[in-house]
Structure 1
Amino acid sequence: MRRSKSQAVYKILPGMWVADKDRYGKSATALVKTWNYKKMDGIYSSFIEAEIKRQIRLFALRGGDISSFNVDESKESFLIVEAACRPGIPDITAELSPLVYYCPECHRATQFRRPADVTRDCPICKQGKIKQLQLVYPCECGYASPILIPKINGIKEFYYHPTEKRYGMFYYQGKNRNFKEFGMKCPNCGQYIQRDSAEAGSNYKAFNTNVINLIGPDMGKFYEKGEAARKLIVSKWFNCISQDGFENIVKNSDTAFSEKTTNSAIREEAEKQARALLSMGLIKEDQLEQTISSLAQSSNDNELNIESYVSACDNIFMKEKNESEENYRAWINNFAFSLMQYETIKNANIVITLDESIDQQLDIGFIDHKNEIEKLNSKLGISNVQASGNVEIVSCSYGFTRKVTDPHSAKGNLKLVAFDRDADTDRHLVYGTKLETEGILFDIDRVKILKWLLCNNIIEENQMPDIEDETAVRKWFAQNVHSENISTFGGIDDNDPITKNVFLLLHSMSHAFINTAGEMSGISANSLTEIIFVETCSIFVYSQSGQGQILGSLSGMFESLFGRYLKRVYSDNRECVFDPICVDRDGSSCQGCLVLADTSCKYFNTQLGRKYLYTLKTEKNNLIGFWEM
């Protein structure tokens, strides 16, 4: 079986049953046992580990079992690894499973002891070519077992007739023909488990995260300076520090975060210099304080003084800081994590701006005037957009559940299962892959989102900020949209309607962007995916395939066809072939419209709906669509 690294991270993980061919060329399933791995280099593992732990804690808050994991922030709990790709050595080891086979001729069932014992011909009648019974027992507690021949005292011969009854076996007691249905009691939790197809997606739900890898060692070193660095990132978002000033601090982070550049150290050095001038008679006693202040202000160390920027962050969010210092720190870490990734994409090594795209389309005659694009952007609520290239993304799988992903949907205790520990470090393995790719970054108009929330009665007039004040608008979203409440596995609670509706809107818009990009860029929608930054109201649609970067498919579409793309985004996603059922029953999201391949949506295609984009009036829905305001 040959798969790309990116596919393996989603589709071939330890504990998962996968389809393949056996040594006789017949269809078979196998249980993935191990990866031949190596530590992934060139990444900022602490940056990625922080996001993994955040997701695990969210799972616990929804009532899930995370006993497999250590989420202590003070400890390194995970080792991020990738396929070793060593010549002559399989990267992934899997074992034939289940070992129960049946004969289509005599219908006798056989359970082999080892994969090597499996034969081509029926060991009983010697006539039929045996087939694997590809069924397993998965449980919400994490336990899973391949199907086994039932155990009944005194019975040794069992018969399988899939056309008569598929989920059980027949046996004889005397002349009586009896049927035993497949099923078992879980040895771990005691829950009764029903059989399922070995290949069914419900047997194994991989928990993944996609993280933008930071640009260069300077940025990684800066981020690891801790809470003060996080506050600096937040201050930059509120324009308290210029881009040049921020980059200077990043390049000189050791000095910037040292005692030398603190206010007290700068003043102490200035006072030493001033007193030296006083002792030489160059200034008078009554000029001493003024000289100290002047020398302190002109010190070169001021350029790297971070204290004012840290204080600016605290002053902006003084209310949150006073309410709970602990919650404030956790929130700042989460906010900064999102902003850091957003800024990395925004300031990527290769950027094609909207103005450059418009100029290109004017030159080749695809649009007649730049206001064509401006009107379409306004209609779709896009405040800014750019293509970003040479963006490095780390995709990781850190655990899995069975049957369902959301603890609220489980019948029993849903467990998030960790992967095995690395023998040398005793840290849990996280299976990952690095991808250098390109994508399109959409900044959605925050003011239009506020007006949409207001006109749909999600917020009231007295909750609106001053929409003419960009800082006030940014602060409102920072305070009212809580990305820490958004998980990859479950819905957002109704008691946080602002976060819920903002995310539903952005997520639905993202899938519409992906659908149309899949039609126009030359890359299948199944090869595209998303990262959503709710704090900045931004969407990054990118290619999961390295070919996307090589071919320049998305950037080419953005540069030459963006006007046509925007028109089709609006027109192509309004209708669904399954309407009115999709609108009435499925919340206006199904396989015929916004639902993508599982590998394209880390949210498992939940929290979506065309009704957030278009005004689809029904008895259950009275929302005014964002694109039709």
Structure 2
Amino acid sequence: MANKGFSRGQTQVLFRHLPEAIFEHDDYGLCKVTQVALGDTEVNRDALFDAMADALAMWPADFATKYPDTRDASRRSYYAIGSPREVRFTPYPQVFRCRSCARTGKFTDLIKRGASAVGRCSCGGNLNQMRYVQAHNCGRLEELYVPSQRCPACGSGTDLAFYDPGRVKQARWYCAKCKADVQALRMTPCKCAYNNSLPPGPRAEKFLRVVPTGDPSLYIPHTVAFVNFPEDDQGRLRAAPDALQLMLARTWGLLRDSVSDTVRERASLGKPEDADMTASLVEQLRKLQPNNPVVREYDAKKKQPKGQTEIDRVNELLKACKVTSPGAPRRWLAEHTTLLDKTDVSTIADVASMLRRSGDEDGALDIEEGQRKASELLGIGNIRVVNDFPLALCAYGYTRTARDPSRTIITPFPVDERGRIPVYAIAAETEALWFELDPLKVYGWLLQNGITGGTMPASREEAWARLYVEVPGLREAPHEPAYGQLEAVAIRTLLHTMSHLFLRRVEWSGFAPSSVGEYLIPGSLSFILYANRHAETKIGGLTTLFEQRLNTWLWDAVQSGRECVYDPICEDDGGSCAGCTHREHSCISFNRELSRATVYGGPTPQSSAFEGTKLKHGYWRDAWKAAPVK
């Protein structure tokens, strides 16, 4: 094992130097990571395991069997969580080729044939590592197979050489002595769960592929992001009496105060020791001054505790939808309300006021115009900037040869000395843009396209309640039965597509699209675009975009989203491909549930839950009215 100093940042380790990855060391050449030691990290473990469960649910059940179920609290002890601290590695592969005579073999065999231990061939040439390995969709990795047979022409067993023209199909083994052909590269068969899922008969995917060591598909780490709030705070919030109703009231815009403050004040009224002392003091004051404001305030609070009006209203809305037992708050609801209450959030009104105070009336009018267009024409109810978005990113495994869960088996990192599967996590605060759609317009869009039935809600709060009750798939995890509900798929596809279309033009912020991640909260009709930086400093690109270029960016994204280099083929085939909505990296759903038809109208993908149905009404059908006035 190599021990020479080797310095890399945590983010770089998370994407390039995790266990089983191959990289090139400055001194040792090609190496394979054997272990990454874990350091301490402050992450919300419940949120991490929930996010892991959602991510693993993207794979077919037979392709994720190597993982203990993270939804089962009793099995979470099989995992070890920490930040990447120390990378340990070993030279790999151990197959070498002479640059002069092309003789090739395992290093130990070449030593026996006269090569020196310092990397010199028996002919005096330099020995270099072979830059090819074998890999399979199941995660298996092997060194290149070195033939053991003698030359069929001269019978030599020590002069095996490798012809490398730069193309795997043309590479061959030959005899360096007589130049006779020995054999082509071997296709090694694999017996695995992935092969068992393939139809009978010969298929190239049933064999290990010969892959260059520098090919990005050789090792693809899989990460998942989650909102990282203190575990204790979130736990107390979710366990509080009437927590669900208060969180729904906050999410639906009924409750103006923070949920945590409301819960704290309600709890203080319920503590016997505090209540007795306060009551005694108030009663003494009442005898002296019956109309004292403090006495009146105390009587009002006792009669109607803080937040009770909002709780009653939520219960009334849910009862109208025939829900009597709404259940406990889910993670998405805690995330949404805690983002509102515990982070530094700036609204468009805040920015407009700031611009006016600095004398920039034109800038204030421009951002207010952007808000008006977003609300009236794009169906976006709120756009906010989160200056301290609490993000955590965890790496939970890897795949080889492909990223798509339908074509690969997800493999966990090798277990540590205690038999636990390592999960590498880093936490940071970053900047983010938070979009929330208008529930009335979303419900109307479902009705107009025949995706749901019934009548139009009379108000936003009624629309929120009906979406909550009628579309349970929005708040369920991928492994739950209602997740595939058509209405839920439609709304998630709408949110996901809008997220990708805005990301296409995020260069206005100074960030490349690959440097900005996305986070969806379908239950609150929200998506968040965040700077994918895990460092102490913030660049401020998204904040500047929000404050100075919001109106221009919104129009540019909406207009450019109509175009795809593969139209009209792409448009007729569902409006989703590598030329328009697909992201090469950082897509949380592996480019699933995407279609430009949701925003512009048109045919949907045949492979989706829509089954190619044509949507007559795009969510942005009025977006053309947002064109800048010259």
**For residue 166 of structure 1, what is the aligned residue in structure 2?**
168
What whole-Å deviation, never above 9, does each CA across 1:329-375 have from its counterpart, x for those lacking one? 6xx45xx2012212233335322211233453892524756445412
Cα distance change, pair 580–385 in 1 and its aligned pair in 2 (3 A): same
Cα distance change, pair 105–365 in 1 and its aligned pair in 2 (3 A): same
1:553-564 alignment to 2 at 5 Å? 553-564=541-552
TM-score, structure 2 as length reference: 0.75
Cα distance change, pair 628–312 in 1 and its aligned pair in 2 (3 A): closer
* d(CA) in 2 for partners of 1:628, 1:55: 33
**For residue 45 of structure 1, what is the aligned residue in structure 2?**
45
* Letter matched to residue 431 of structure 1: Y
Asked if 1:531 is matched to 2:519, the reply is yes
What whole-Å deviation, never above 9, does each CA across 1:430-488 have from its counterpart, x for those lacking one? 1011121111111112222223233333234x2x552425234343245415246665x
The CA deviation at 1:556 is 1.4
Q: Which of 582, 600, 605 is the aligned partner of 1:595?
A: 582
Q: Which of 225, 228, 233 is the aligned partner of 1:213?
A: 228
The CA deviation at 1:608 is 2.4
**For residue 439 of structure 2, what is the aligned residue in structure 1?**
446
TM-score, structure 1 as length reference: 0.75
Q: Which of 556, 577, 581 is the aligned partner of 2:565?
A: 577
What whole-Å deviation, never above 9, does each CA across 1:28-65 have from its counterpart, x for those lacking one? 54322211321212x32223223323444x35765433
Is the CA contact 1:398–1:419 (under 8 Å) kept in the aligned structure 2?
Answer: yes
* d(CA) in 2 for partners of 1:220, 1:319: 28
Asked if 1:606 is matched to 2:592, the reply is yes
What whole-Å deviation, never above 9, does each CA across 1:381-407 have from its counterpart, x for those lacking one? 211111111122111112234445566
* d(CA) in 2 for partners of 1:115, 1:13: 30
Cα distance change, pair 555–112 in 1 and its aligned pair in 2 (3 A): same
Is the CA contact 1:102–1:133 (under 8 Å) kept in the aligned structure 2?
Answer: no
What whole-Å deviation, never above 9, does each CA across 1:238-290 have from its counterpart, x for those lacking one? 5786635642425887x79x9969xxxx9xx99xx9xxx9xxxxxxxxxxxxx
Q: Percent identity?
A: 20
SS at match of 1:211: strand
* Letter matched to residue 14 of structure 1: P
* Letter matched to residue 501 of structure 1: A
**For residue 291 of structure 1, what is the aligned residue in structure 2?**
none
The alignment of Structure 1 onto Structure 2 pairs a total of residues equal to 568
**For residue 88 of structure 1, what is the aligned residue in structure 2?**
none
1:451-470 alignment to 2 at 5 Å? 451-460=444-453, 462=454, 464-470=455-461
* d(CA) in 2 for partners of 1:153, 1:483: 64
Q: Which of 328, 331, 343 is the aligned partner of 1:337?
A: 331
* d(CA) in 1 for partners of 2:621, 2:116: 62
What whole-Å deviation, never above 9, does each CA across 1:86-108 have from its counterpart, x for those lacking one? xxxxx322333222233354332
Is the CA contact 1:60–1:66 (under 8 Å) kept in the aligned structure 2?
Answer: no
Cα distance change, pair 593–319 in 1 and its aligned pair in 2 (3 A): closer
Cα distance change, pair 550–139 in 1 and its aligned pair in 2 (3 A): closer
What whole-Å deviation, never above 9, does each CA across 1:107-129 have from its counterpart, x for those lacking one? 32222259999978651432356
Q: Which of 119, 124, 127 is the aligned partner of 1:126?
A: 124
Cα distance change, pair 137–422 in 1 and its aligned pair in 2 (3 A): closer
**For residue 83 of structure 2, what is the aligned residue in structure 1?**
82
**For residue 384 of structure 2, what is the aligned residue in structure 1?**
386
**For residue 286 of structure 2, what is the aligned residue in structure 1?**
none
Moved more, 111-120 or 576-585: 111-120
Is the CA contact 1:574–1:614 (under 8 Å) kept in the aligned structure 2?
Answer: yes
**For residue 73 of structure 1, what is the aligned residue in structure 2?**
73
1:136-535 alignment to 2 at 5 Å? 136-140=134-138, 142-152=139-149, 157-163=159-165, 166-167=168-169, 169-171=172-174, 177-186=181-190, 191=195, 192-197=206-211, 198-214=213-229, 219-223=233-237, 225=239, 229=243, 233-234=247-248, 236-237=250-251, 243-244=257-258, 246-250=260-264, 303=305, 316=318, 332=328, 336-359=330-353, 360=355, 363=360, 365-366=362-363, 370-371=368-369, 373-404=371-402, 409-410=406-407, 415-421=409-415, 423=417, 427-460=420-453, 462=454, 464-477=455-468, 479-480=470-471, 482-483=473-474, 496-517=485-506, 519-535=507-523
* d(CA) in 2 for partners of 1:118, 1:493: 65
* d(CA) in 1 for partners of 2:389, 2:485: 33
The CA deviation at 1:510 is 0.6
Cα distance change, pair 165–538 in 1 and its aligned pair in 2 (3 A): closer
Structure 1 residues not aligned, in runs of 5+: 85-90, 278-295
* d(CA) in 2 for partners of 1:320, 1:194: 56
SS at match of 2:562: coil
Cα distance change, pair 441–259 in 1 and its aligned pair in 2 (3 A): same
* d(CA) in 1 for partners of 2:179, 2:252: 83
* d(CA) in 1 for partners of 2:472, 2:603: 27
Cα distance change, pair 372–55 in 1 and its aligned pair in 2 (3 A): closer
Is the CA contact 1:389–1:549 (under 8 Å) kept in the aligned structure 2?
Answer: no
Is the CA contact 1:121–1:128 (under 8 Å) kept in the aligned structure 2?
Answer: yes
* Letter matched to residue 340 of structure 2: K
Is the CA contact 1:120–1:130 (under 8 Å) kept in the aligned structure 2?
Answer: no
**For residue 23 of structure 1, what is the aligned residue in structure 2?**
27
* d(CA) in 1 for partners of 2:311, 2:162: 72
Is the CA contact 2:432–2:530 (under 8 Å) kept in the aligned structure 1?
Answer: yes
* d(CA) in 1 for partners of 2:234, 2:512: 33
The CA deviation at 1:11 is 3.3
Cα distance change, pair 593–70 in 1 and its aligned pair in 2 (3 A): closer
Structure 2 residues not aligned, in runs of 5+: 1-5, 152-156, 196-205, 284-297, 606-611, 623-630
Cα distance change, pair 605–393 in 1 and its aligned pair in 2 (3 A): same
* d(CA) in 1 for partners of 2:105, 2:316: 69
